[in-house]
Structure 1
Amino acid sequence: MQEPTTLPSDGSPPSNLDAEVSIIGSLLIDGDAILRIEPFLRPEHFYGEQNAEIYTACRELFMESVGIDQETVRDRLIAKDILEDVGGDAYLSAAVAATPHSVHIVDYAHLVHNAYVIRQLGQAGIQINEIGSNYSNTRDVDRAVKSAEEIIFRIGQTYESADFLPIRDARSITEFFDPPTVDDTDESNQPIATGFASLDNVLGGFHRSDMIVLAARPGFGKSTLALNVGLNAAKNGKTVGIFSLEMGIDQVAHRMAAAHARINIQNVRNDHLTPAERDRLSDAYGYLSDMRIYVDDAALQTASALSAKARRLKLQAGLDFLIVDYMQLISGSSSGGREANRVQEVSEISRYLKAIARDLNIPVLACSQLNRAVEQRKSHEPRLADLRESGSIEQDADVVMFIHRDDKNMSEEEWNRRNPTQVYPRGLTEIIIAKHRHGPTANIEMAVRDEWGLFSSPTEPGMD
């Protein structure tokens, strides 16, 4: 097997041409070996152009279910009129002669891929240096930093994706027969409790690597409920990150403090407080200051920048739980303003959020808008099809929850006319768990005090 690539002393880009030739030789003597490297090795990963062309021919034969050997590859190169360009029959024969067997083809492929990544990092360094050398970027440093982060993030996406594994390698099976040593102080894989018993009883908390979507029409309290869950998680010692694209950090602090102190949010904002309320607010702000809550309130966020920031926070603070408020305010990479492009963008954003949850092993709570179809329905009860701008949100999410409130859908006068024997459900809400990948769905009754920004159990004192 070849040794790992080292940086050339002549200043040329790092590569491992010996490993590239060994890959070609391995495929020519054992065509089935392509099954072991094709999922992650691409022609552009090769440094030698002739090796890239030959590997491309091998992949084409594989895709067409044609056997791979020296003759079939030779015929394909002739058909493409590039046999002589890659070195002719002599080059193919030399590759076979230099490779006694295909046992180490995966190792060779990793060496070639690693060299490619290092070359990409070199190119990224040039691009980042150009950003750093452009004086005009001093006028918008945040944008310059985001551009640099996106360059590095794109390189990270070149690593091999997951491939088929035998089911015996599933962690649930291996840990059943060989339980890991349990550290009672390690909560890195434990679910995040929402702080609402009725919700946790159904969901078991928010599980690591899950994407949870909380959707509602504007004004129904999705930001309020998301912040309540984040505050409860922080009270339990978790590190919470919040991307607040709609509210600034001061508004987030006002809301969390008001919910904790049970003070009218408007009074907090306008500083119309009684002496007793001011004391409670002071205690709440002090309490919040000691919590590991981090807020990014940039109004313009791209999906890739959001991902890079979440990864950085994970490294710096040990992120346990991430809130995104809300999805439709994030920008994707698609250009143009047409509806079809926006659907593609939201689909991309949804995939990014799911990837963050899996890669960082944290639950991601993403708030989402509903379309207006729910308002045309007599019951006003939301459905999965109401998720705005993309069906992929439903597909990517592990849990989808809706907030349904009759007191927002109709006035007290209309309610009494339609339901003369029932009390108007002021401050009562239903959390509809419409999708639960790992368990049952359910409708959960909760109470909400909009003036405090607080959800709770309907039976909790002070919530009526």
Structure 2
Amino acid sequence: QHFPVAIFSLEMPASQLVKRMMVSETGIDSKKLKGGVKLTPEDWKRLESKLKDLASAPIYIDDTPSLPVMEFRSKVKRLVKQKGVKLILVDYLQLMQGPSELRGMREQEVAAISRTLKATAKEHNVPIIALSQLSRQAVTRQTSNNRPQLSDLRESGSIEQDADMVLFIHRLDYQGLAGEDVQQGETKLIIAKHRNGEIGDVDLVFKASEARFVDGREEETVNSFASEASVREYQSKMNDISADNFLQDDGLGTF
């Protein structure tokens, strides 16, 4: 519905993030977009159309590295007031800086960051989706499916406590744990915590060349139809902003 969205990309430069959005929106294989020479006339038409949509989309990107959490809070206040932002994304929480007095006490620092995100969301009545790293134990755990757990949230138990929902993206093929009955890209979206609802799993499929996830039920329907039609080929459908596009006061940009 074209709600304004703000993305705080602490790990990835804004230019790379926009390129991934281009891949996801156009459905054009990412390998094609890297060079451009292999694009067909149909690809160019689709690219032009989707770029116009992205250019007019109310998406604001801040890629300030090591963003202090209180500076984040100030920027969110301006974004909500001036731009009407309805959703905040943070990638990722552990790359933020907490209060200076807590530097060197990592668990307490991450806990303070988590609390500030929670308070900011409540203050401005806007949802905040914050990505988080998992502990090394989540990868090395020797279990049949190696499902991530709430205790795997890295560096602080406060993340689990403060969050209204905790979701894990679990890909067996990515971790090299897939068996013969697991298809390429098969993914479980694990709802591990839901303060106001039920927990459970959602089936997804990761389309690497399009850098996106799709509904696993829809993918099953497509694959079934392709099989019946004797189609043997499987296709997996799965970054530069000029300085002029950025607001001079806070480094936020739209494209």
Post-superposition offset of 1:255: 1.0
Equivalent residue in structure 2 for 1:451, among 204, 209, 217: 209
Note if 1:265 corresponds to 2:30. yes
Stretches of structure 2 lacking an aligned partner (at least 5 in a row):
223-234, 238-255
Equivalent residue in structure 2 for 1:375, among 134, 139, 150: 139
Name the aligned partner's letter for residue 185 of structure 2: G
List per-residue Cα deviations over 1:288-313 (Å, max 9, x = no partner).
11111110111120000011011111
Correspondence list, 1:210-221, <5 A: none
Note if 1:300 corresponds to 2:58. no
Report the 3-state secondary structure (helix = DSSP H, G, I; strand = E; otherwise coil) of the residue aligned with 1:423: coil
Post-superposition offset of 1:279: 2.4
Q: Measure the CA separation in 2 of the matches of 1:266 and 1:329.
A: 29
List per-residue Cα deviations over 1:368-392 (Å, max 9, x = no partner).
1101111222232100000000000
Q: Measure the CA separation in 2 of the matches of 1:438 and 1:374.
A: 26
Mapped contact 1:258–1:281 kept (Cα < 8 A): no
Match of 1:249 in 2: 14
Note if 1:325 corresponds to 2:114. no
Q: Measure the CA separation in 2 of the matches of 1:281 and 1:320.
A: 27
Match of 1:360 in 2: 124
Q: Measure the CA separation in 1 of the matches of 2:57 and 2:170.
A: 31
Match of 1:434 in 2: 192
Name the aligned partner's letter for residue 320 of structure 1: K
Aligned residues, how many?
A: 219
Equivalent residue in structure 2 for 1:423, among 158, 181, 197: 181
Change (3 A) 1:424 1:272: farther
Name the aligned partner's letter for residue 441 of structure 1: I
Change (3 A) 1:423 1:285: same
Q: TM-score, normalised by structure 1?
A: 0.45
Match of 2:240 in 1: none
Relative to its length, the structure with more strand (as a share) is: 2
Post-superposition offset of 1:269: 3.4
Report the 3-state secondary structure (helix = DSSP H, G, I; strand = E; otherwise coil) of the residue aligned with 2:154: coil
Name the aligned partner's letter for residue 308 of structure 1: S
Q: TM-score, normalised by structure 2?
A: 0.80
Of all paired residues, the percent bearing the same amino acid is 37
Relative to its length, the structure with more helix (as a share) is: 1
Equivalent residue in structure 2 for 1:284, among 50, 59, 68: 50
Match of 2:226 in 1: none
Report the 3-state secondary structure (helix = DSSP H, G, I; strand = E; otherwise coil) of the residue aligned with 1:301: coil
Name the aligned partner's letter for residue 434 of structure 1: A
Q: Measure the CA separation in 2 of the matches of 1:365 and 1:334.
A: 24
Correspondence list, 1:226-245, <5 A: 236-245=1-10
Stretches of structure 1 lacking an aligned partner (at least 5 in a row):
1-235
List per-residue Cα deviations over 1:194-239 (Å, max 9, x = no partner).
xxxxxxxxxxxxxxxxxxxxxxxxxxxxxxxxxxxxxxxxxx1211
Report the 3-state secondary structure (helix = DSSP H, G, I; strand = E; otherwise coil) of the residue aligned with 1:400: strand
Mapped contact 1:456–1:463 kept (Cα < 8 A): no
Q: Which is greater in Rg?
A: 1
List per-residue Cα deviations over 1:429-453 (Å, max 9, x = no partner).
0000000000100111101112211
Structural RMSD (CA):
1.8
Correspondence list, 1:191-230, <5 A: none
Post-superposition offset of 1:454: 1.2
Runs (4+) off by over 3 Å: 269-273, 334-338, 460-464
Q: Measure the CA separation in 2 of the matches of 1:310 and 1:404.
A: 30
Post-superposition offset of 1:463: 5.8
Q: Measure the CA separation in 2 of the matches of 1:272 and 1:323.
A: 34
